[in-house]
Amino acid sequence: MSGTVKKGYARPLDLKHGRVDLSHGGGGRAMVQLITELFANHLGNEYLAQGNDGTVLPIGTSHGPGRLVVSTDSHVVSPLFFPGGDIGCLSVHGTVNDVAVMGATPLYLTAGFILEEGFPLADLARIVTSMARAAADAGVKLVAGDTKVVEQGKGDGVFITTTGVGFLPEGVCLGGDQARPGDAVLVSGHIGDHGVAIMGRRENLSFDAPIQSDTAALNGLTAAMLASGARLRLMRDPTRGGLAATLNEIAHQSGVGIHLDEAAIPVRPEVEAACELLGLDPLNIANEGKLIAVCAAEDADALLGAMRAHPQGRDATRIGRVTDDPNRFVQMTTRLGGRRMVDWLAGEQLPRIC
């Protein structure tokens, strides 16, 4: 026994084999250690380093005249790790995108973690590094955070809530109530990937060409779209409820109808096949790296050009138009040449046998 342990030595977190326990949420030294060695280590920056109860941000002084955009999202996805992503990057992308589709530049994020006692620290480390990478890629900084621990059995491993803050310059006025009859409706790429990546895992489907979640930050794409000069009315990301829910929301908010062309809606063949097997409709399935845009019809080509020039918009295409409809229906010309409504679902989409 050498007895030469350095003064002030503190045993580091066992990120390989350790697990979250109740002390990590207790506000004491164990929690500080978790924050310092894991969260701040990967997500730290000059704002987080302020180390106070509230973080002071320079918004309003460094960006010129404009407004703030704020958005918040909670993430409870299961499984936590799925093909193409995990709850960490998903929580960054989701909130970044909600800010970006308003036409704002996302700047700052906060993150609240609810951890379940017993959750492996190795998995938490994976999630946190994934968040850090996603935030860096999107150019946003994590400026405040919180951690709580609940007893085993009372949480699904980890829940994450992120809030995003962005800067919206004067003159940009996008909104769900801005769509006008005659406008073009565009989508930035293939729909249904995220939901099928998750459900396929759950239902034990295996894929030749594996379907990955499309989770991605879209602020680069939205910036390119705003710079294109097209008269953009709104952008929105079709997450829960899929394309159908989002288009119905827009139709209701704007007091218009929407008419889609089924043959124009991009769906990967494997996504379509998985939906057939499970009895699901791709229009109702969540997307985490796509957006819908509505613009003046004459500007659609220019907007599509700008989108396709960007990696997140290569497969962007026009899928329909806004119509004058007091009933605010979303309708579609089917591949067969008939017509049907695209309604939003009452609840969660469930696979059917009938």
329 binds another protein (CB under 8 A): yes
350 binds another protein (CB under 8 A): yes
**Amino acid letter, residue 58:** P
Distance CA(124)–CA(40), nearest Å, equals: 13
Of 193 and 270, the one with the shorter C-beta distance to another protein is 270
**String marking each residue 5-24 x if it binds another protein according to CB under 8 A:** --------------------
351 binds another protein (CB under 8 A): yes
CB-CB contact of 166 with 104 (8 Å): yes
Work out how close the CB of 236 gets to another protein at its nearest, in angstroms, rounded to a whole number. 22
For 165-182, b/e burial (b = at least 16 CB within 10 A) is bbbbeeeeebebebbeee
Work out how close the CB of 342 gets to another protein at its nearest, in angstroms, rounded to a whole number. 8
Q: What angle do CA 308, 93, 247 make, to 5 degrees?
A: 65
Work out how close the CB of 13 gets to another protein at its nearest, in angstroms, rounded to a whole number. 35
343 binds another protein (CB under 8 A): yes
Among the listed ranges 40-48, 64-72, 98-106, 323-331, the one in contact with another protein (CB under 8 A) is 323-331
H-helix or E-strand spanning residue 57? none
**String marking each residue 257-286 x if it binds another protein according to CB under 8 A:** ------x-----xx-xxx-xxxx-------
For 3-31, b/e burial (b = at least 16 CB within 10 A) is eeeeeeeeeebebeebbbbeebbeeeebb
340 binds another protein (CB under 8 A): yes
Work out how close the CB of 272 gets to another protein at its nearest, in angstroms, rounded to a whole number. 6
# binding residues, another protein (CB under 8 A): 39
Distance CA(117)–CA(22), nearest Å, equals: 6
Work out how close the CB of 271 gets to another protein at its nearest, in angstroms, rounded to a whole number. 9
Please name the residues in contact with 83: beta carbons below 8 A apart, sequence gap of 6 or more: 197, 201, 210, 211, 212, 213
Work out how close the CB of 277 gets to another protein at its nearest, in angstroms, rounded to a whole number. 6
Distance CA(264)–CA(123), nearest Å, equals: 40
Distance CA(87)–CA(158), nearest Å, equals: 9
Of 117 and 262, the one with the shorter C-beta distance to another protein is 262
324 binds another protein (CB under 8 A): no
Please name the residues in contact with 269: beta carbons below 8 A apart, sequence gap of 6 or more: none
Residue list 197-256, contact with another protein (CB under 8 A):
200, 203-209
Residues binding another protein (CB under 8 A): 200, 203-209, 263, 269-270, 272-274, 276-279, 327, 329, 331, 333-341, 343, 345-347, 350-354
